[in-house]
Amino acid sequence: MIRIAYTIGLSTIQDLGRDHNYRHGVSIGGAMDRLALEMGNALLGNNRSAAAIEVTLFPIKFEILANVNIAVTGADCSIELDGQQINPNWAFHAVKGQTLSLSKLNSGSFAYVHLAGGIDVPEVLGSRSTYLRCAFGGVEGRMLRSGDVIHTVPQTDPMPPIARGGFGAIAPDLGLTKPERAPSIAADSATILRYLPAAEHDNFDDASLDALVSAPWQITPQSSRAGYRLAGPNLSMIDKLEMRSHGIVPGVIQVPPGGAPIIQTADSQTSGGYPKIGTVIEPDMWRLAQTRIGNPVRFQKTTYEEALAAHREMTGFLDKLRALSKAYRDLLK
Amino acid sequence: MKKNVSATDLSQDEIEQIIALAKDANVRGLSIEQNDVLVRVVLTKKPDGTRNREGIEKDHAGETKVKAIMAARFLPQHPDRHGTTPRVGQHVHKGETLGYLKSGPLIVPLLSPKEGTIDKELTHANQRVEYGTAVLTISEEQSRNTVQR
């Protein structure tokens, strides 16, 4: 059990979302960086979809109200337990009375604070995720506030306290193969996002298809958990296309009439009528989530086979982390 | 009894099953190898904390070898936090992080079992170590000298 001692807002409870209700028009929602959420749960031996606190604005401080194993994953920030530095992507034991603080964001956007067993808030439509737009899930459907007390799901076989020093995971950008930069793409710090052509891809003119992969795209401040709006060259179609609204999913790159693409993210609406030029592959969505507003991304066309290979690598990374974490915890019992 | 198990595609459930079977059979040492990952699990009959967690061995003249507690690669620094762990000649406190062991995506700290001075580094960065490999030594004598100075 922990208490939010200080927050400036925008932190919420998130798990892997509620994809079983998409057909009812309910967004999938859940963690923006699903890989980081699963990493924390793997370190602690939680259910893979256990809920955690998604931290968006820093600093945030927590008062530990009862001894608990904790993991912090995701964005690289300064993590301190009673003033002692904790490594990123790390699991450790905290005791009653200690203060955990996250501050000084070095890179990335979203950090996740996991408690052993997972955070216990009521499930709504099969998920504990907060859906701010409709004000349900999480803690009363809202952002966390100072003073909120966060409980954990009772465990039948709780893990013993993590041994002194804790343990952790390698950062995924070191542990996973980076998308290979095509020779034609300029070498800069932009995040590479691999995409598959979507239904209306071939309706865009050649100049736009070329611009999609050759230009850097800046994430604008108009971005949110629902979608990342990008600034760059205007994309246009060969002929005007009138479309009825149809189903869309996180990762879809829509192009509104203005020509500036929008990448749908966790709280994506369930349908839309804008043409879709591509879909960012799921294994790269965490890279997008951890790219800060104002920073550039670049698109790189990929194939279905490469997308599947990237997905297999990501799930293999998580499986290995879960298995090795358990083996290590057992080793120290 | 000791038996090496080489696996090509182990799931978490399979690993747990192997460990459970090994416990039932009183197996004390178990290695699980997959690609670049080698996990060596040493099982004790009494899960009561009798295992030496820091993997230390007191040698002669107050010199203590700090040993790897699992098969891994030795990293003097955390891959995301450079320049934060002590090196030869530096005084360390009990429980201080001396380096890291990396096995696949897992990183575990190598902790100082006692207060002293790092005397020798016996392993270089990114070197593969086995369970029980001495990684460095800590000297009590130099520690006392350091304190006296």
Q: Are the C-beta atoms of residues A171 and A248 closer than 8 Å to each other?
A: no
* Separation between Cα atoms, residue A307 and residue A168, nearest integer Å: 27
Confidence of residue A333 (pLDDT cuts 50, 70, 90): confident
For an interface test with B, which of A170, A319, A321 has the most B Cβ atoms less than 10 Å from its Cβ?
Answer: A170
- Answer whether A157 touches B (CB < 8 Å): no
Share of chain A above pLDDT 70, in %: 100
Residue B135 has what pLDDT?
94
SS3 A288: helix
Residue B48 has what pLDDT?
37
The pair of structure tokens assigned to B44 is 């004790």
Which of B39, B47, B108 faces A167 most closely, judged by CB atoms?
Answer: B108
pLDDT digits (tens, 9 = 90+) for A209-234: 999 999 999 999 999 999 999 999 99
Stretch A79-84: mean pLDDT: 96
Chain A 23-42, residues with CB within 8 Å of chain B CB atoms: none
Q: Quick check: A327 and B39 CB within 8 A?
A: yes
Q: Are the C-beta atoms of residues A194 and A287 closer than 8 Å to each other?
A: no
The pair of structure tokens assigned to B109 is 């700290």
Please give the order of strands across the beta sheet that includes B37-42: B2-6, B29-34, B37-42
Q: Quick check: A167 and B109 CB within 8 A?
A: yes
pLDDT at A77 over 90: yes
Residue A17 has what pLDDT?
96
CB atoms within 10 A of CB A224: 14
Stretch A35-48: mean pLDDT: 97
Q: Which of A131, A149, A170, A152 is nearest to A46 (CA)?
A: A152
Q: Are the C-beta atoms of residues A235 and A213 closer than 8 Å to each other?
A: no
> Which of A17-26, A111-120, A308-317 has the lowest average pLDDT?
A17-26
Residue A332: list chain B partners with CB under 8 A: 51, 53
pLDDT at B4 over 60: no
Residue B58 has what pLDDT?
56
Q: Measure CA A13 to chain center.
A: 12
Confidence of residue B10 (pLDDT cuts 50, 70, 90): low
Confidence of residue A180 (pLDDT cuts 50, 70, 90): confident
The β-bridge relationship of strands B97-103 and B72-75 is antiparallel
Which of A170, A321, A327 faces B79 most closely, judged by CB atoms?
Answer: A170
- Answer whether B103 touches A (CB < 8 Å): yes
Would the CA dihedral through A55, A57, A58, A61 be positive or negative? negative
Q: Which of B8, B29, B95, B94 is nearest to A331 (CA)?
A: B29
Stretch A150-174: mean pLDDT: 93
Scored b (16 or more CB within 10 A) or e, A166-191 reads bbbbbbbeebbeebeeeeebeeeebb
Written as one letter, the residue type at B142 is: Q
Residue B83 has what pLDDT?
67
The pair of structure tokens assigned to A327 is 């083996």
The β-bridge relationship of strands B29-34 and B2-6 is parallel
Q: What is the pTM of this model?
A: 0.87
Residue B32 has what pLDDT?
64
Q: Quick check: A170 and B102 CB within 8 A?
A: yes
Q: Are the C-beta atoms of residues A102 and A138 closer than 8 Å to each other?
A: no
pLDDT digits (tens, 9 = 90+) for A231-262: 999 999 999 888 899 999 999 999 999 999 99
Q: Are the C-beta atoms of residues A55 and A111 closer than 8 Å to each other?
A: yes
Q: Which of A15, A113, A104 is nearest to A64 (CA)?
A: A113
Residue B149 has what pLDDT?
33
The pair of structure tokens assigned to B124 is 């270089």
Confidence of residue A307 (pLDDT cuts 50, 70, 90): very high
* Separation between Cα atoms, residue B124 and residue B76, nearest integer Å: 8
pLDDT digits (tens, 9 = 90+) for B32-70: 666 666 666 665 544 433 344 555 555 556 789 999 999
* Separation between Cα atoms, residue A33 and residue A287, nearest integer Å: 8
- Name residues whose C-beta falls within 8 Å of residue A298's C-beta, 6 or more positions apart in sequence: A185, A188, A190, A191, A192, A193, A213, A215, A216, A217
* Separation between Cα atoms, residue A307 and residue A303, nearest integer Å: 6
Q: Quick check: B12 and A323 CB within 8 A?
A: yes
Q: Measure CA B82 to chain center.
A: 20
Confidence of residue B1 (pLDDT cuts 50, 70, 90): very low
Residue B135 CB-density burial (10 A; 0-12 exposed, 13-18 middle, 19+ buried): buried
SS3 B72: strand
Q: Quick check: B19 and A163 CB within 8 A?
A: no
Residue A333: list chain B partners with CB under 8 A: 47
